[in-house]
Structure 1
Amino acid sequence: MTNPCRQHFQRVTAAQQAAATPQNQPMADSSAYTMQMAQLHQHYQQLRGIQSTQAKEELKAKLLPDYAPYIDGVLTSGQGAQDEVVTTIMLWRFDAGDYEGGLQIAAYVLAHGLEMSDNFARKTPCLIAEVVAEAALKAARAGNAFDIGVVAEADRLTAAHDMPDEVRAKVKLAIGLLAAGMVDEKEPKPDDLQCLEVAQHFIPRAIELHERCGGKKALERVEKLIKKHAEQKPS
């Protein structure tokens, strides 16, 4: 079979077998799942031979297309069977910097209550929220770009799920810092006030959840800029 034909076959097979497996039951008896797990095991061996975190992330980015047909099939027709391939590829997408792709899988994972493998101590919603929030916080504190919509979506997807307050605080703080980071004091923009108001909403919430989250100085800057904006507004 040509590569597109093989991909189509993998996608259709995964969809059919995922649709036939009830929620919370393992996909272990599925031939499509068995093949993907065998492939995953091979790739795990490759990753274990690499010490550099950056190099591991780069390799994961190269390997992800091998799983795309299977993931597409499961997300299209799956009934929520327990699936280590799905949860692993979700995290690999995050690791590779594909946060939108990771959250696409996360929506399915959370909707059906899929659990992480025993290698992870944190519950699935907590893990999703923290991985996204920490990446966003790292970018925000370094002055680098990060899509605030990604963090907002992670917040929305995990809002109804229980997790430590410290983790929820990271999500709120990330949204607040990213919003505040959109404001350049030297080059005012029409939507600055809206960004500052978003920051003024989320940063105090983060501090409320975890007082030592690191948002107090950022909040001082936001309140200072809001006051400055009000003083400059024509009467």
Structure 2
Amino acid sequence: MALSLAQRHRLRVLAELEAAATSPMTSMAGATAYELQLAQLIQDRLRLKNIQGNEAKAKLKVQLLPTYEPYVQGVLAGGNGAQDEVLTTLMVWAIDAGAFPDALKIASYVLKHNLIMPDRFARTTGCLIAEEVAEAALKAQKAGGEFDLQTLFETEQLTREQDMPDEARAKLHLAIGRALATQVPDEVVSAEQLETLKAARDNLSRAIELHTSCGGKKDLERVDRLLKKHAGPAS
């Protein structure tokens, strides 16, 4: 049952007050708002478990996420960094649902306070954020679509100092490099486009440096070819 506006407001306020009252590095367990949302989360995870397809799961997450918005808003507004399984799980769900601005808002808080992912997530928090966003971008690019470049930039900035395998970081640089490169047609006409190509080259080179088999060599060849062809005349 959907919450009324009044109920959503009460939940947000309660979550903010309880998050503010919970010390950093302790758990939100026992707080009323947290326990209510955790119980809802367990029910929704069971619903997701009964669905086999990832695409269908993502569609259900799109429907489920608004239910948790008041809680998330409250914790982000008042939280001091208490461990919160609800919040970290919803961050992943937001990525799966394609709600990247919401996911990165949570990610900023999670990384700032060094929140730990639940045991069922095998990767560290920074690695998970970088890799999941990168893989979503690479999937869209492979299908001939686009992916929001600002989301990629923000993800890279958020996770720059986070420890992760080189292969995971390479995926993010590859996605950024491809996103930049596709903004420039074969007939480059402006200095701004050349700067975009140079930024694409930096990211593609970094991806290959981190992981030789990342799949960016053909992208880099195109970028180098365009730079060689147009750098002189455009200058």
2:229 equivalent in structure 1 = 228
Does residue 1:145 correspond to 2:139, yes or no?
Answer: no
1:114 equivalent in structure 2 = 115
The Cα of 1:188 is off from its aligned counterpart by 5.2
Alignment of 1:45-64 (within 5 A): 45-64=46-65
Q: Secondary structure at the match of 1:191?
A: helix
Contact 1:107 1:157 in 2 (8 A): yes
Alignment of 1:19-98 (within 5 A): 19-98=20-99
- TM-score, length-scaled by structure 2: 0.95
2:196 equivalent in structure 1 = 195
Q: Secondary structure at the match of 1:117?
A: coil
2:184 equivalent in structure 1 = 183
Following superposition, which runs of at least 4 residues in structure 1 exceed 4 angstroms of deviation? 186-190
1:160 partner amino acid: E
Stretches of structure 2 lacking an aligned partner (at least 5 in a row): none
2:158 equivalent in structure 1 = 157
Contact 1:26 1:82 in 2 (8 A): yes
Contact 2:149 2:176 in 1 (8 A): yes
Stretches of structure 1 lacking an aligned partner (at least 5 in a row): none
Partners of 1:195 and 1:172 in 2: CA distance: 14
The Cα of 1:159 is off from its aligned counterpart by 0.9
Shift in CA distance, 96/20, structure 1 to aligned 2, threshold 3 Å:
same
2:32 partner amino acid: S
2:222 partner amino acid: R
Per-residue displacement from partner, 1:157-193 (whole Å, max 9, x unpaired)?
A: 1111111111111111111111001112268566321
2:19 partner amino acid: A
Partners of 1:188 and 1:31 in 2: CA distance: 60
Partners of 2:121 and 2:44 in 1: CA distance: 19
Per-residue displacement from partner, 1:2-49 (whole Å, max 9, x unpaired)?
A: 711111100000000000111110111101000001101111111111
Contact 1:143 1:181 in 2 (8 A): no
Contact 2:190 2:234 in 1 (8 A): no
Q: Secondary structure at the match of 1:69?
A: helix
1:221 partner amino acid: R
How many residues of Structure 1 are paired with residues of Structure 2 in the alignment? 233
Contact 2:169 2:207 in 1 (8 A): yes
Tell me the C-alpha RMSD between the 2 structures.
1.5
The Cα of 1:132 is off from its aligned counterpart by 0.5
Identity across aligned pairs (percent)? 51
Partners of 1:74 and 1:162 in 2: CA distance: 26
1:199 partner amino acid: A
Contact 2:126 2:164 in 1 (8 A): yes
1:8 equivalent in structure 2 = 9
Is 178-187 or 96-105 further displaced after alignment? 178-187
Partners of 2:160 and 2:234 in 1: CA distance: 36
Contact 2:191 2:234 in 1 (8 A): no
Shift in CA distance, 188/144, structure 1 to aligned 2, threshold 3 Å:
farther
Partners of 2:66 and 2:202 in 1: CA distance: 39
